[in-house]
Amino acid sequence: MQSFNFKCPTEIVFGKGAEEHIAEKIKAYGKSRVFIVYGGGSVIETGLLPRIESQLTAAGLSLQVRGGVKPNPRLAWVRGAINDAMIFKADFILAVGGGSVIDSAKAVAHGVANPGVDIWDFWSGKVKLEKTTAIGAVLTLAAAGSETSDSAVLTNEETGKKSGLNTDLNRPTLAFMNPELAFTAPKRQVFCGIADILMHTMERYFTTDPAPNDMTDLIAEGLMKNVIKHSRTLLHDPKNYDAMSEIMWCGSLSHNNLTGLGRAKDFACHKLGHELSGRFDVTHGASLTTVWGSWAGYVWQDNPERFAKFAEKVWDITEGTVEEKAQKGIEITIAYFKELDMPTNFTELGIGVQNKEMIEYLADMVTANGTKTVATFHPIDKETAMEIYNMANH
Ligand code: NZQ
Ligand code: ZN
């Protein structure tokens, strides 16, 4: 077995009514000044935020609330919120929402703990993050996995760059996961979330490591099969509690790195997708399915055995040569994305066919103007990024 380091310290409260335990859990960690972060207002419409505010106030905790986080969260909002949270002297940051809200809360937590440092300096790598403030997440959408992940993704609207910061300090102290809270999410967001969950494991499964850990593979294959099965239930029965529970739990397990232990992560499609979101503000999950088929079509011959294993274990494709199985696995995955009504090219994504200059701009953004490569399964340089974008550009 390959060596690995796995740290996943988040205390998870999962199931119906999970959010009723927020005050008692925050107090158990000795915190009393709670800065609540939320998004565009869905948590007010559903009554979730007022319920949480009443609960915390009744428990004697001090509160300040700041909404307005947008999907693909922006740096300027984060800077303003850090200022407010510092004046309030917050000792706990509580996110109520999806991945964008949780990622913004992570940034606020880092900002509060590091006065005088510009928050983007952590994202750009100029300054190393050494300390943070405790964070909790009340999850309203099964998707990004931010409730347990070591990652937080922000968009710098001044440069159009969307990038992630990876550090164990991003792992929340607490996560409250009640699958019923996700029932009010728009259908498109639910299936974008499901695509993201699946992709977090796929981006770890496609490895060039000669001997990936068997246990990691079995967990990854089981998780992918489970997501596919329960997503199909949600297609015709969107308020099925058991199906949403399975999806929500898979969302956390898919991105806390359990499905990638002992191997190098790839994340090519995330890098390519982030630039589409940075430039066109498209939903994260949709950006991933847009490029996946093109990426797979471009790289599968680097390791056909791995793609054939994916086809066999995830899609039960047992007939044919290694090459035939690999190709069938790619085709069936693309067909599955279409079944979920997810885009598989630029036109379906809604951005239309792009000119050569835009393709080059996107490839430059992925590769820092051609000065670096990203990903591990097939290293993506500027020319490769352009090829893959071009394959999706119809
Ligand atoms: O803003 P509100 O009003 O809350 O509405 C949101 C938003 O419009 C809505 N929504 C969420 N839960 C709802 C709901 N509406 C009604 N009822 C509910 N229960 O859904 C919209 C999208 O929300 P968002 O938080 O953007 O979605 P998601 O959870 O998919 O997060 C996407 C963001 O996370 C990043 C993505 O890049 C993107 O910026 N990621 C974060 C990762 C991480 N931190 O580990 C990893 C991922 O790979 C990803 O990059
Ligand atoms: Zn993702």
pLDDT 10s digits, 79-134: 999 999 999 999 999 999 999 999 999 999 999 999 999 999 999 999 999 999 99
User: Are both 11-182 and 187-392 of the same fold?
Assistant: no
Lowest mean pLDDT among 31-40, 154-163, 191-200, 321-330: 154-163
Residues 361-381, mean pLDDT to the nearest whole number = 97
End-to-end CA distance of the chain: 43
Out of 141, 181, 279, give the residue to mutate to test ligand 1, the one with the largest number of ligand atoms within 8 Å of its CB. Answer: 141
**Domain ranges, ordered by start, for the chain:** 11-182, 187-392
Residues 65-72, mean pLDDT to the nearest whole number = 97
Q: In the numeric block, which tokens belong to residue 218?
A: 């079995």
Q: Are 165 and 155 in contact (CB under 8 A)?
A: no
Residues 60-70, mean pLDDT to the nearest whole number = 98
Q: What is the pLDDT of residues 33-62, one digit of tens each?
A: 999 999 999 999 999 999 999 999 999 999
Its pTM surpasses 0.95: yes
Fold of 11-182: Rossmann fold (3.40.50)
The hierarchical CATH code for the domain 187-392 is: 1.20.1090.10
Integer CA distances (angstroms), 38 to 65, 91, 161, in order: 8, 17, 23
Look at ligand 1, atom 43, and give the residue with the nearest C-alpha.
146
Predicted local confidence at residue 209, as pLDDT = 84
Out of 37, 66, 100, 253, give the residue to mutate to test ligand 1, the one with the largest number of ligand atoms within 8 Å of its CB. Answer: 100
The residue count of the chain comes to 394
Q: In the numeric block, which tokens belong to residue 55?
A: 């609960």
Burial of 63 (0-12, 13-18, 19+ CB in 10 A): middle
Residue 211 has pLDDT above 80, yes or no: no
Round the average pLDDT of the chain to a whole number and report it. Answer: 97
- Nearest-CA neighbor of 389 among 365, 261, 377? 365
Predicted local confidence at residue 210, as pLDDT = 78
Distance CA 342, CA 259 (A): 24
Q: What is the pLDDT of residues 173-208, one digit of tens each?
A: 999 999 999 999 999 999 999 999 999 999 999 998
| Residue 32 phi, psi (nearest 5) | -140, -10
Residue 271 has pLDDT above 80, yes or no: yes
**Any residues with Cβ below 6 Å from ligand 1, and which?**
39-43, 71-73, 97-101, 103, 140-141, 143-146, 149, 151-153, 181-182, 184-185, 189, 193, 196, 255, 270, 284
- Specify the 3-state DSSP secondary structure of 102: helix
Residue 212 has pLDDT above 90, yes or no: no
Q: Are strands 151-156 and 161-166 parallel, antiparallel or unpaired?
A: antiparallel
